[in-house]
Amino acid sequence: MYHEFHPNILREYDIRGVVDETLTESDSKALGHLLGLKLRGNRVVNVGYDGRNSSVKIKNALISGLIETGAYVKEIGLGPTPMLYFSCYKNEAELGIMVTGSHNPKNHNGFKIVMNNKPFFGLDILNLQNEAADYFINQAEGNFEKYNVKNIYSNFLKDSFNIDKIQNIAWDSGNGAAGEIIKTITSYLNGSQNLLFCEIDGNFPNHHPDPSEEKNLKDLKKSVLKNKCDFGIAFDGDGDRIGIVDNLGRTVPGDLILLLLAEDVLKSNKNASIIADVKCSQVVFERITDFGGKAIISKTGHSNIKLNMKKHNAVFAGEMSGHMFFADNYFGFDDALYAAVRFVNMMAKSNRKLSDIINDLPKVFNTPEIRFFCEDEKKFEFIEKLKQKQYDKKKEIIDLDGIRVNSEDGWWLMRASNTQPSLVFRCEAKTRNKLHEIVNDLKKDVEVIDKNIAKQILA
């Protein structure tokens, strides 16, 4: 058999494209064939899907392809990505596939894949193009059945709450796949639980489901202030990324969410390894060390983080984007719903307001995570040119993911997004003036390489 995938959908740690343009049902069925042919163990494949309008047809085509290879498909139904990961640990599935567009626009969709509870990414995904060019299936008939893990997962989350104190919380599910479960588990909490947009709707009628963007937290902030909440919690489209708003309605950056959770984890895991991605503030790494932990910097991406957790035997990890990974009392995958439970528990133990905790952290000046448009075909080449320019200037460089340039007064990062046609930029400094200086210096370097990209950098 022969199939050709659009080259832009095969990415480093997932498969993602525009439905009926770069990603079709034919792609989905072929993916089912190729992944089904890799099965060597119990041949059990768990399949889940998010609430996007295209997810059911993409899921059905995938399952059709899997069954034709003789796979034993267990459909876990509509829910968040972490429920798919959870299900694979529960029934020891050889393969797990989540149909999801994550936080991308509503006309996008894709797949997140685990094999034997390990990430399927990098060359595993990129090699699918060559494998699809010539493959054979023996039309071995597999089977299909429903696997109702949603109640098991919901009960696990509910039972993980450990709260004596009454807390008033706002919850924004963004009409994403986490909504139904959030509605269920918050019904067991005391205090006032203010729920926003728990109805799963692939049109995302209220706002885009990406809590890492400030504009998408507007409704959550209003709810926190109106209802005098202790804090607010938001989720992305497939429930593996968390956002937090404090009691004053201020966004808590993803790296500071990571830091607060890391400090809590270290209270019962002395000298433990904690991983943060390359986009995180230097404050995160310094504070983890001060609290007795071993701070490790990682390449961005949920698959990279999971591999590094195993490599370093880390008990907790997180990313600027809001992915949080617990391995102390959990399985080590990114689960925003479980992270929310742990955050609620942490705040229940504290006698302080979240705003006061944030205010007491060391003060630095930084940009938010900024994305510049750059075609997929050009973005990696641009990073290589920028990297070489910094080497020529003999800068202090971390190049495990794009390029992070450190100085005595701060740092900047530029990397190519693995999920979008864009470059990701972030800068941090000890003073506001130094922040402007660092950004201006970078802009001059970028102008030499690409004037259009340089115009997007605001000093």
Residue 459 has pLDDT above 70, yes or no: no
Q: What is the pLDDT of residues 301-321, one digit of tens each?
A: 888 999 999 999 999 999 999
Domain extent listing, the chain: 7-148, 152-161+169-359, 365-455
Alpha carbon 207 to chain centroid, angstroms: 18
Helix (H) or strand (E) holding 437: helix 432-449
Question: Residue 141 and residue 143: Cα distance in Å, rounded?
Answer: 7
pLDDT given for residue 457 in this prediction: 86
Residue 118 has pLDDT above 90, yes or no: yes
- The DSSP secondary-structure symbol of 122 reads T
Q: What is the pLDDT of residues 348-401, one digit of tens each?
A: 999 999 999 999 999 999 988 888 899 988 999 999 999 999 999 999 999 999
Alpha carbon 167 to chain centroid, angstroms: 27
Q: What is the pLDDT of residues 262-276, one digit of tens each?
A: 999 999 999 999 999
Question: Residue 104 and residue 93: Cα distance in Å, rounded?
Answer: 27
* Dihedral (Cα; 253, 259, 260, 262), 10-degree rounding: 140
The overall average pLDDT reported for the chain is 95
- Going by C-alpha positions, the residue among 318, 305, 312 that lies closest to residue 257 is 318
Helix (H) or strand (E) holding 371: strand 370-373
Q: What is the pLDDT of residues 402-435, one digit of tens each?
A: 999 999 899 999 999 876 789 999 999 999 999 9
Assigned token pair, 358: 């944030």
- The DSSP secondary-structure symbol of 214 reads G
Alpha helices in 278-375 (DSSP H): 282-290, 302-312, 336-349, 354-359
- Quick check: do 7-148 and 152-161+169-359 share a fold? yes
Average pLDDT over residues 336-352: 97
Assign a CATH topology to domain 152-161+169-359. Answer: Alpha-D-Glucose-1,6-Bisphosphate; Chain A, domain 3 (3.40.120)
List Cβ neighbours of 94 (8 Å cut-off, separation of 6 or more): 39, 40, 41, 42, 43, 44, 45, 115, 116
Q: What's the predicted TM-score (pTM) here?
A: 0.93
Average pLDDT over residues 203-220: 96
Active-site residue 102, yes or no?
Answer: yes
- Going by C-alpha positions, the residue among 412, 403, 404 that lies closest to residue 434 is 412
β-partners of residue 130 are none
7-148: which CATH number, 3.40.120.10, 3.40.50.1820, 3.40.50.2300, 2.40.40.20?
3.40.120.10
pLDDT given for residue 420 in this prediction: 77
Q: What is the pLDDT of residues 80-103, one digit of tens each?
A: 999 999 999 999 999 999 999 998
Superfamily of 365-455 according to CATH: Alpha-D-phosphohexomutase, C-terminal domain (3.30.310.50)
- Rounded to a whole number of angstroms, the CA Rg of the chain reads 22
Active-site pick, 28, 54, 87, 102: 102
Q: What are phi and psi of 326, to 5 degrees?
A: -105, 130
